[in-house]
Structure 1
Amino acid sequence: MNMPVTLVVDDEPDIRELLDITLSRMNIRACCVETIKEARQLLDSQHFDLCLTDMRLPDGDGLSLVEYIQESGLQLPVAVITAHGSMDIAVSAMKKGAFDFLSKPVDLAALRQLVGNALQVSPNHSLEKDRRTRDTLLGESELMCEIRSKIQKVARNQAPIYISGESGSGKELVAKLIHQQGPRADKSFVAINCGAIPHELMESEFFGHKKGSFSGAIADKQGLFQAADGGTLFLDEVADLPLSLQVKLLRAIQEKKIRPVGEQHEVSVDVRLLSATHKDLAKMVQEGSFRQDLYYRINVIELSLPPLRVRAADIVQIAEHLLERLAKANQVPVPQFSRQALIALQQYSFPGNVRELENILERALALHEGDKIDVDDLNLQMTCDEAAKPHGDYNAEQMSLENYLEDVEKKALTAALEENRWNKTAAAKQLGMTFRSFRYRLKKLGLE
């Protein structure tokens, strides 16, 4: 097996020597240069498995090298080395596609962990995991294809990801997929609902505590950051964190260190941080209930999940998959959906999204008779608009299923535009779509 090769770009001889020695002890060959010009020449002429670059170089900054690697289409993880306290620069680098960052003075344990993670990222590894994503995150609509593509991309780096979307839209599922596709897949995935922890216990839950540090602390306790060390920490409903803990969380992200309650010294931790909430964090920042600096740290990359009601074309596939899984779990034969039942599901607005769909199907499986699930078995709680629309308005002889689904999509797009006073950017974000995709759908459906 060929020895991995790392491109090291730094104009400080001491740093180059430190990185060279550390990498050689990991059986990795280091190719060291001092300038961006030299780095580009080598990148154009030979293969590398990893790039480590300083931010301040004689002929430019590391950000331009990150951009060059991304624009060249090289499947090469690049990590930037920043001055102590330069978190804003590190965030900028990750937004441009950097894999991760290291702060000076370089912590050798953190360096070895970063290099190990980076070398696990390869195109073949990613392709294998993308197939598993397609089997788990169902739907062949344009929206879901975009989401799967984004998951594949963001899983390759270590940037904090903010997953937004309505309750029940699959935020934790997406977080697990990002973890499973990334280089930390063989390490822990620790998920916590921030709204479920009493405020007075939050610091201990997140960072751990020492025995005797407070009344009831009868033994040392490991916190969530330590439990997820080397792996991924998923903070669900991060909007529910109190301001006092937001300050400590911000420091943990920036310094990659925590201080357990009652401990005198900080402890280094290495976690990939994923966050999610159904609330509008940007609005909370404006209102002062969520720290702006923390918002920018956890929202390096945003992944917005679309509600189920705007991807009616996926509902049949998801419903059939969920029903088969529920039937298997209950050890009963898998019933079929009547045509009218499928139409009713596609017309329903699903305020609870996929989670609500699963609850509806679980109830229908228990109560249906015969070998089919019909409309009455679903017991859908229709709104006035939905109830006014008869289930029989779909006629296979008069309207193809494709035209029917286009009609559903038109209504969803129009409703989003009306709710956002015809602001296309806001409507696209509400539906979990890129602006470009939103405009394409408007044009295709004749709504421009």
Structure 2
Amino acid sequence: MSENRSALIVDDERDIRELLVLTLGRMGLRIDTAANLGEAREQLSRNTYDLCFTDMRLPDGNGIELVGEISRNFPRTPVAMITAFGNIELAVEALKAGAFDFVSKPVDLTVLRGLVKHALELNNAERAAPTPPPPEQASRLLGSSTAMATLRDTIGKVARSQAPVYIRGESGVGKELVARTIHEQGARAAGPFVPVNCGAIPAELMESEFFGHKKGSFTGAHADKAGLFQAAHGGTLFLDEVAELPLPMQVKLLRAIQEKAVRPVGAAQEVQVDVRILSATHKDLGELASDGRFRHDLYYRINVIELRVPPLRERSSDLPQLISAILDRLAEQHGRNAPSVSPDAMTELRRYAFPGNVRELENILERALAMADGHSIEVEDLYLPQAGAARGGEPGASPGTIVSPVDLDPAGGPLPSYIEQLERAAIQKALEENRWNKTRAAAQLGITFRALRYKLKKLGME
């Protein structure tokens, strides 16, 4: 590390100050110290720091005050909170106030060095530029609407933190892309980004998948295996559809996040892990927590920062830019020139509510590109579901209202048969909207991956 890097340590305990001075000094940093808020403010007025550590309780005030002041006045200075061991509530409060991360007393030097490394990388101008999102995903964060400008601005801010982020939004809005962008714009960009769909892992294999296992720990464990936490070490673990986690696994996940350590199945010792947790779901996680279907303590731990991704119907002004970008990409994939969209077709697209959001827009345009005869996409090429979703411009229609995609009459046969037809139609629609990705189709339908597989087999749709 550069000898020009500097850090400010604010703590009224001399032993803690000396430990941090010694440890950070060996990492090549120049250190200043302060025993209270007044001294810290004086140091900050005279010097610029690459990193700051502050204790929670100081003789003349609360460390949270200092966190807020540094976040507002010195946004390029990451600040980490020193908390008493196990005081997760105060640590979360510090993260919400703008702290980069926190470290518990007694200080674990290995954890401390990792924290310092990531903090300094935030302002490391020599660090390689993050890899841009893949072209097929980039379209989902395009748009000049106020909603998208706010989202991009918020992503830029949360990327500088290590705080857990809960990404909330409907199916198809691009929650995983948002998570990837947070990872790529942050200090962990050089580390792995590990996405996991929590609804696609069988309950009996969850502990092994998340934490790994030792050879012989259960039938079929023929070799040691690292889990998802270990795979994401030094980077980001993205828990998609986190609401699908069963309650027993939620307890174990909470402990792993709090202790920054996991115990592989069959292992005697815990393994330290350094990961940032991002999570997402299309369900209302707060409501699930209120109903007892999701643990309150885990909800508050992963929901330090909540990020809402707006549905497409709330940013219809972005449609022309999105459509142009998607058609350019699809045309390039098919080795042809991108067609234009006729005014009438654009009007129809603007009126449509897009219950499947950007993912559905991509599917509609891909089908239209295949169906269009000339160099322009017409209304008849879109095949927009007339009964599949209410039109945003029709009187009395609520945006995104889902109606039966087929005209079924319950009086035309026995009830089980009628319900079977409804299930078949809903599953068919979800599969088409998700390009036959069963994991995503299950998430859109609000059922588990295993439940979808069962229904496909039962209905003869495999």
Q: Smaller-chain TM-score range?
A: 0.7 to 0.9
Instruction: Report the equivalent of 1:253.
Output: 257
State the Cα RMSD in Å. 2.5
Measure how far apart 1:384 and its partner are. 8.3
Instruction: Report the equivalent of 2:154.
Output: 150
Indicate if the aligned counterparts of 1:238 and 1:275 stay in contact, CA closer than 8 A: yes
The partner residue of 1:170 within 174, 179, 193 is 174
Measure how far apart 1:260 and its partner are. 0.7
- Describe the superposition over 1:61-117 as per-residue Cα deviations: whole angstroms up to 9, x where unpaired: 211111221332542110001111001000000001100001112111211111111
Give the aligned residue type for 1:376: E
Structure-2 change in CA distance of 1:388 and 1:167 (3 Å): closer
In the alignment, is residue 87 of structure 1 matched against residue 91 of structure 2?
A: no
Give the aligned residue type for 1:297: R
1:237 and 1:385 map into 2 onto residues whose CA distance is 24
Structure-2 change in CA distance of 1:47 and 1:134 (3 Å): farther
In the alignment, is residue 137 of structure 1 matched against residue 141 of structure 2?
A: yes
1:389 and 1:288 map into 2 onto residues whose CA distance is 39
Measure how far apart 1:135 and its partner are. 7.7
Q: Secondary structure at the match of 1:3?
A: coil
Measure how far apart 1:191 and its partner are. 0.1
Q: Secondary structure at the match of 1:270?
A: coil
Note the 1:27-426 alignment, pairs <5 A.
27-122=28-123, 137-383=141-387
1:125 and 1:164 map into 2 onto residues whose CA distance is 33
Measure how far apart 1:204 and its partner are. 0.4
Give the aligned residue type for 1:58: P
Instruction: Report the equivalent of 1:440.
Output: none
Instruction: Report the equivalent of 1:24.
Output: 25
- Describe the superposition over 1:323-356 as per-residue Cα deviations: whole angstroms up to 9, x where unpaired: 1111111222211111111111111110100001
Indicate if the aligned counterparts of 1:228 and 1:271 stay in contact, CA closer than 8 A: yes
1:388 and 1:199 map into 2 onto residues whose CA distance is 40
- Please, which runs of 5 or more residues in structure 1 have no aligned partner? 391-410, 417-448
Structure-2 change in CA distance of 1:388 and 1:187 (3 Å): closer
Q: Normalising by the residue count of structure 1, what TM-score does the alignment of the two structures yield?
A: 0.83
Give the aligned residue type for 1:78: V
Indicate if the aligned counterparts of 2:311 and 2:357 stay in contact, CA closer than 8 A: yes
Instruction: Report the equivalent of 1:396.
Output: none
Instruction: Report the equivalent of 2:428.
Output: none
- Describe the superposition over 1:282-303 as per-residue Cα deviations: whole angstroms up to 9, x where unpaired: 1111111100010000000000
Q: Normalising by the residue count of structure 2, what TM-score does the alignment of the two structures yield?
A: 0.81
1:85 and 1:254 map into 2 onto residues whose CA distance is 8
2:67 and 2:78 map into 1 onto residues whose CA distance is 9
Identity %: 57
1:160 and 1:288 map into 2 onto residues whose CA distance is 22
1:125 and 1:95 map into 2 onto residues whose CA distance is 29
1:149 and 1:192 map into 2 onto residues whose CA distance is 26
Measure how far apart 1:383 and its partner are. 3.9
- Please, which runs of 5 or more residues in structure 2 have no aligned partner? 400-462
- Describe the superposition over 1:216-267 as per-residue Cα deviations: whole angstroms up to 9, x where unpaired: 1111010000000010000000000000000001101111111111111111
1:204 and 1:376 map into 2 onto residues whose CA distance is 50
Q: Secondary structure at the match of 1:120?
A: helix
Measure how far apart 1:387 and its partner are. 6.5
Indicate if the aligned counterparts of 2:140 and 2:358 stay in contact, CA closer than 8 A: no
How many residues in Structure 1 have an aligned counterpart in Structure 2? 395
Instruction: Report the equivalent of 1:13.
Output: 14
Q: Secondary structure at the match of 1:233?
A: strand
Structure-2 change in CA distance of 1:192 and 1:30 (3 Å): same
Structure-2 change in CA distance of 1:363 and 1:45 (3 Å): same
